[in-house]
Amino acid sequence: MLSKKTKYGIKALTYLARQEYKTPVQIATISKNENISLKFLESILLTLRKNGILGSKKGKGGGYYLLKNPNEILMTTIYRILEGPISMVPCVSLNFYEKCDDCPDENTCAVHKLMIQVRDNTLQIFRNTTLADLTLRAKESHEN
């Protein structure tokens, strides 16, 4: 299940992507418009800033802004920063692989085979979805 941290991070990024490129937005504005706790949002945005997704400007007219064009920000990157591994079990993770303690042979494990399919399909969606795609979908929903 997707954590609230990742859900709110994606909502905040989508909000920032709808703004004029590199225009700082105050955290209180994002919090109010996306209905996210200010304290929780601060932590999420700080994580995204430390990982090179967001920039921040202090003082009057300050706030957070995207460092890259929304077309360049893949959901795989955001998910891994906020959530961690994409795979549901460690034995199929591409970046965080660990052998399962209770599995004598991955090659004959039915769970392993199923989770590879889940991982591959999830990765295909995340790799082919940018922040711009999410922003466009949200905009289309508002227009209908």
Position 143 scores a pLDDT of: 60
Per-residue model confidence (pLDDT) at position 144: 54
User: What's the pTM value of the predicted model, to 2 decimals?
Assistant: 0.88
CATH 1.10.10.10 fits 1-71, yes or no: yes
Band (112; pLDDT cuts 50, 70, 90): very high
Name the phi and psi angles at 36, rounded to 5.
Answer: -120, 135
Convert the pLDDT of each residue in 18-42 to its tens digit: 998 788 999 999 999 999 999 999 9
| Predicted confidence band of residue 127 (pLDDT cuts 50, 70, 90) | very high
Residue 24, pLDDT score:
95
Neighbouring CB atoms inside 10 A of 47's CB total: 15
Helices 75-82, 110-127: crossing angle, 10 deg rounding = 120
The mean pLDDT value of the chain amounts to 92
CA 16-131-120 angle, to 5 degrees, is: 150
Tokens of 99: 């052998």
CB 139 within 8 Å of CB 18: yes
